[in-house]
Amino acid sequence: MTTKTIDATNKKLGRVASEVASVLRGKDTVAFTPHVFADVKVEVTNASKINVDDTKKRTKMYKRYSGYPGGQRELSLEKVTEKKGMKEAVRIAVRGMLPPNKLRAKMLRNLTITD
């Protein structure tokens, strides 16, 4: 198992998330195979120092749905970072960039984010 550290200081949220997703999938290795789990741990440091514009904080909306009528909830990036910190915004962004298959949960377990 290899570990890669990514410093998020003064980088955009999407750039960091795409880099992390690529490493978690194993695309930076020579033996990349899409259906095989790459045993790589990724550590993102300085998540609180990510560069996000004020307009993006207000306008970026995260939606979730409980499955019940009227159960759709929306939270802005500002509210998410206020409640759970920038770590949760990075985790959501990386999750959205990984393929929606059985390997996604395994890949996300190998992601650690520190402020």
Give the residue extent of every domain in the chain. Answer: 2-52+85-113
Q: What is the mean pLDDT of the chain?
A: 97
Task: Quickly name the fold that domain 2-52+85-113 has.
Answer: Ribosomal Protein L13p; Chain: A; (3.90.1180)
pTM of the model: 0.93
Token pair of 56 as six digits: 């993006």
Residue 1: pLDDT band (50, 70, 90) is confident
Instruction: Dump pLDDT digits (tens) for 21-33.
Output: 999 999 999 999 9
Mean pLDDT of the region 84-99: 97
Token pair of 9 as six digits: 């200081």
Burial class, 30, CB count within 10 angstroms (exposed 0-12 / middle 13-18 / buried 19+): exposed
DSSP β-ladder status, 111-113 and 40-45: parallel
Looking at residue 98, its pLDDT comes to 98
Looking at residue 5, its pLDDT comes to 98
Looking at residue 13, its pLDDT comes to 97
Distances (CA, A) of 69 to 7, 65, 66, 75, 111: 42, 9, 8, 18, 34
Q: What stretches of the chain adopt beta strand conformation (E)?
A: 2-7, 40-45, 61-65, 72-76, 111-113
Residue 66: pLDDT band (50, 70, 90) is very high
